[in-house]
Structure 1
Amino acid sequence: MAPILELQQLVKRYGGVQALMGVDLDVQPAQVLAICGENGAGKSTLIKVVSGAHPPTSGRMRLNGREVHWSSPHDALVNGVTTIYQDLALAPKLSVWQNIFIGSEIRRSILPGCHILDKAAMRAQALEYLQRLHQRITDVDRPVEGFSGGQRQAIAIARALRWEARLVIMDEPTAALGVAETAEVLALIQHLKAQGVAVLLISHSMEDVIQVADQVVILKAGRVAARGATAELTPASLAQAVMTGVWPSAPH
């Protein structure tokens, strides 16, 4: 199967600091690929480049086999690459449907050259996106601030579905969440995978990575130090690999 995303010898420099040093990786459709590494390993820089926030210094990035050059996150977004940061970038005072459709509102014509927001269509489609994620949210007029952390993640993911995302980058999605909300977010990741969406997961939680990721890439000092299947690992052996940059020689 052809990768949905390919990075070849990706380099990123900030002045005299080289944050990424020739990173090669690929993400397959319907795959959950986790990126792990200690602070300063290059995880944040990697997602900023893939999401279009920062241009690479050199190297190639291909999406569905086509070389791409993002000039902004919007370029990535309209090409099916969505990033969900830890703060979710939701507008807490706005309703669920307004958050899902912000920047991509549906309009209908009432007179030639005169359009209004089609609120009924957006409400209905918002419910459909949430149902695809097996969410029981039924009041899409309710402000986002009234929902739990796991439900807010679902709303952010529903917004990604609105943009027809084929690759969703999730940056520490379970940070600061309780046990029940963490389980809810991990289930959301599985629902995305079941629908053929690839997920690039950045996480410090070894337990979460083992539970939902198919493979893990370990970054160390801006390089890919190791890569392998999570089926070979336990949370403890993955933590050890993150610290050493060496893949375990045998299953633990």
Structure 2
Amino acid sequence: MSQDGRPIVELRGAGKSYGNVRALHGVDLQVFPSQVTCVLGDNGAGKSTLIKIISGLHQHSEGEFLVDGEPVRFTTPRQALDRGIATVYQDLATVPLMPVWRNFFLGSEMTRGPWPVRRLDITRMKKTADEELRNMGIILDDLDQPIGTLSGGQRQSVAIARAVYFGARVLILDEPTAALGVKQSGVVLKYIAAARDRGLGVIFITHNPHHAYMVGDHFSVLRLGTMELSASRSEVGLEELTNHMAGGAELAALKHELAQVRGVDVEKLPEKEDLTAPVVASEGTSS
């Protein structure tokens, strides 16, 4: 928490409508320093709309959006960035053929010399990029190599370190492990934990409950634009989180139909009563 106990970012009953389409409704979310808040949901659950509201791309049409306890209504991503809210999207907004150091400072290059003959301070940018990456535990042999030659996990890590360097207090990560294998996903999860340890509030958007449970402190599950579950790590186990994420109620409703299909094992599918019980932490559940 912040020194006065308030979250950095808070949504109260927030929602967004596009004409007659209600993409998000009644969402409550709090993001504290040094915590990873995981937002889970399937395609169409409302995760993208939530990101756009917090990052300043879209404005909420209902409820409240507060930063440091102050109601805000961002009209541009620049305004969100000025308040310390940085977003790392899946495409990373990098230029694959440019060197790592150049991508690190893309749009915010260091310069030297008097105007109008100012020029890029390449030496300082390389030194700073190397130091900042090492501070996050990222060691690259050659910062001159095109960033497109790095693995997906390494590119995500560079984007995280860049956001930390440029003063992010809240870091939104949009499905950072979605297109990665097991090993590279582990790399990204390590740097998400490193960002949390640096004091950032992290919003980890994902559809993978196993990845979320490895680093998450609080879990929010979206379904069809509403918050189906909001619980801290001590209140929910991985099994319950997976059931909510996977739509366990719908699976239970289909159990009878699936039982008629030859070769389908339905014994381990949840029963409806299993999903209506209060959510409690599973004893012995670990990441």
Q: TM-score, normalised by structure 2?
A: 0.82
Equivalent positions of 1:89-238 (< 5 A) are 89-109=93-113, 111=114, 113-238=116-241
Change (3 A) 1:89 1:247: farther
Q: Secondary structure of the residue that 2:101 maps to in structure 1?
A: helix
Distance in structure 1 (CA, Å) of the matches to 2:24 and 2:91: 24
Alignment-mate amino acid for residue 125 of structure 1: T
Conserved? CA contact 2:236–2:281, under 8 Å:
yes
Change (3 A) 1:247 1:179: farther
Point out the structure with max Rg over C-alpha: 2
Which residue of structure 2 lines up, in the alignment, with residue 27 of structure 1? Answer: 31
Task: Name whichever of 219-228 and 26-35 sits farther off.
Answer: 219-228
Return the structure number with greater strand share. 1
- Counting matched residue pairs gives 251
Q: Secondary structure of the residue that 1:216 maps to in structure 2?
A: strand
- Gap runs ≥5 in structure 2: 250-274, 283-287
Conserved? CA contact 1:129–1:162, under 8 Å:
yes
Which residue of structure 1 lines up, in the alignment, with residue 281 of structure 2? Answer: 251
Conserved? CA contact 1:226–1:247, under 8 Å:
no
Conserved? CA contact 2:237–2:280, under 8 Å:
no
Task: Name whichever of 187-196 and 33-42 sits farther off.
Answer: 33-42
Alignment-mate amino acid for residue 249 of structure 1: V
Instruction: Say whether 1:40 aligns with 2:70.
Output: no
Q: CA shift at 1:59, angstroms?
A: 2.5
Higher relative contact order (CA 8 A, sep 6+): 1
Alignment-mate amino acid for residue 112 of structure 2: R
Task: Name whichever of 148-157 and 219-228 sits farther off.
Answer: 219-228
**CA RMSD across the alignment:** 1.7
Distance in structure 2 (CA, Å) of the matches to 1:93 and 1:32: 32
- Gap runs ≥5 in structure 1: none
Distance in structure 2 (CA, Å) of the matches to 1:144 and 1:227: 37
For each residue in 1:104-145, what CA deviation from the matched residue of structure 2 results, as whole angstroms up to 9, or x when unmatched? Answer: 111122x35432111111111101210121011142111101
Q: CA shift at 1:247, angstroms?
A: 7.6
Instruction: Say whether 1:88 aligns with 2:118.
Output: no
Q: Secondary structure of the residue that 1:161 maps to in structure 2?
A: helix
Conserved? CA contact 2:164–2:195, under 8 Å:
no
Instruction: Give me the identity figure in percent.
Output: 40
Alignment-mate amino acid for residue 45 of structure 1: T
Distance in structure 2 (CA, Å) of the matches to 1:176 and 1:39: 15
Distance in structure 1 (CA, Å) of the matches to 2:115 and 2:107: 23
Task: Name whichever of 189-198 and 160-169 sits farther off.
Answer: 160-169
Which residue of structure 1 lines up, in the alignment, with residue 266 of structure 2? Answer: none
Q: Where does structure 1 differ by over 6 angstroms across 4 or more consecutive aligned residues?
A: none
